[in-house]
Amino acid sequence: MARFDRIDTSKLELLDKKKCFLVKGTLTLDDVNKLNGLNKKIVLVFENTKGQNSDIIGYLNPNVIRVSVVGGIDYLHKRKYNSKDYIRRTIHSPKDIANIMKTFETIERKVMFTWTESQKCMFVYKTLCEMLNGVDSNERTVQNGVDYMNTLTGILYGRASCEGVSLLFKEIMDRLGIECHYQLLDGIHAFNTVKLDGEYHGVDLYWDIQNKGENNKCGFNYYCREDGNAFYSNRYHDLSNEKEEIRYPVMPFVDEKLEEDLTLLTSNKKEYSHEMTRYTNSQGEVFDYTYLGESGGFSAFIVRNEDNINYFYISKGDDITTKLDNKTLSDACYNCHNLSGNETLPTDIKRFSRFIREDGTNFIVCPTGKTYGDNIMEYTMLEPQEIDGKKVLRKTVITSENDFIFDKDANFRYSVANYLLSRNRLENRLKNYGGYVGFASHETRKLFEMQDERDIEVVMPKAA
């Protein structure tokens, strides 16, 4: 449950006569039920929305509760934001902030946790640049005295001012745990500085939005391009008269670094190995096989016979077709899936696990040896498929908390094959989650049938 600390609002315009509580921790349904039962109107203040659940926020009673997301407009610590105009920009109805958070979540689901901070930042920057249009002072959208283009709500319209854009960028960076600062020349311009992998960088997303290239593509012309002297010497970034702003020691990225990160973000994560080779042995049995390379002095192959596939190792230099013709493959080779786990394998040979779906398709999962925070493990998933009339071996990199290699009970294996790694779900996870497939519990069908992988619908507020 969350903790609620009463805020002294005596010096805060707009809030001076309201009961305001700073929320520490994650809001729960129990918290919401208690808050909704209050008779007096209150304002819940969040430093940012990191760790909060959009659905739970949306359950708050709009008749008694307003939500203030401080974010870049830090009226708790900076005096220049104590005025009504600034504080009003942070306040939202529970429904609006829930919809804003859901839009953030659709972006964040595509951020791979294996990326570096600079890669995550570039992805968010690119996404916001291509989904937003910039507006100037003549194109404001005002409702109830609030210019929505200067707030987080601009993301629901797909339009925002420089102030709104910079607030949105900071909020998503905060949600991802990346240090980011909203910097404002009052009445002139807003931009950001961000700390990526240990170094500060200056970014002006609004200018890149206003200068998009063909097909609405982000050009990254104002992303981490200048050192501090150049970045802050621009009259729109000159903070010399802003006493509550810090001039950070920003550094530029070299072009090669930007190109490397952009290539990674736009690359297709689905790979296909070489076309499988067809072989018919002397008994008329048909096999498809693919050579995968050498390991520990052995040659590795994927072999498919009708609907069955296996990952085999044979001695280096041996002919796979001879093994297939003599039908001695299973006896002569190391079939790591069938080992009990106690045998000593040749150096560098990895185990694999084979899964069979209800429709008869089957696939193999092998560990890559890479692990990430919170015990996330990386695997290569290998699955024979027919593409353009050719039999190929599809190779996909996936990540999960599960140990797929050692045998589990039948429910676990069924759950993995038909739900966690079903073809439709896997396609969705590759597209929207960068290959992260999640975790399988023993509550097989119920667990995965409850998970809705459709895009979250965002309810758009009416523009004035």
Q: What does the pLDDT look like over 91-114, one tens digit per residue?
A: 999 999 999 998 998 888 778 767
165 has pLDDT over 90? yes
Q: For Cα atoms 318, 320, 326, give the angle at the middle one, nearest 5 degrees.
A: 100
**Both structure tokens of 410:** 């039948």
pLDDT of residue 264: 78
pLDDT at 344: 56
Domain locations along the chain: 1-96, 110-267, 270-450
Using alpha carbons, select from 174, 186, 169 the residue that is nearest to residue 46.
174
The pLDDT tens digits for 303-325 are: 888 777 888 777 777 788 888 88
What DSSP designation does 459 have?
P
Tell me the pLDDT tens digit for each residue of 188-226: 999 999 999 999 999 999 999 999 888 888 999 999 999
Mean pLDDT, residues 421-431: 84
Distance, CA of 286 to CA of 279 (rounded, Å): 6
State whether residue 442 is helix, strand or coil. Answer: coil
- With contact defined as beta carbons under 8 Å apart, do 90 and 70 qualify? yes
Distance in angstroms (rounded) separating the CA atoms of residues 146 and 123: 30
Residue 228's alpha-carbon distances to 203, 252, 336, 377, in angstroms, are: 11, 9, 56, 39
Mean pLDDT of the region 10-38: 86
The 8-class DSSP code of residue 418 comes to: I
Q: First and final CA of the chain: distance in angstroms?
A: 38
Q: So what's the pLDDT on residue 169?
A: 97
pLDDT for position 185: 92
| φ, ψ at 427 (rounded to 5°) | -60, -40
Alpha carbon distance 66, 191 (integer Å): 27
Q: What is the mean pLDDT of residues 38-43?
A: 86
Per residue, the 3-state secondary structure of 327-355, as one string, reads CCHHHHCEEHHHCCCCCCCCCCCCCCEEE
The topology under which CATH files domain 110-267 is C8orf32 fold (3.10.620)
Highest mean pLDDT among 336-350, 412-426, 446-460: 412-426
- Global pTM reads 0.65
What's the pLDDT at 60?
93
Confidence of residue 463 (pLDDT cuts 50, 70, 90): very low
Written as one string, the DSSP assignment of 5-64 is: EEP--TTSTTTTTSEEEEEES---HHHHHHHHT-SS-EEEEES--TT--HHHHHTS-TTT
CB 73 within 8 A of CB 89: yes
The model's pLDDT over 233-269, given as tens digits with 9 standing for 90+, comes to 999 999 999 999 999 999 999 888 888 888 877 764 5
Q: Which of 155, 35, 178, 146 is nearest to 105 (CA)?
A: 155
Q: Cβ neighbours of residue 432 under 8 Å, at least 6 residues apart?
A: 109, 110, 453
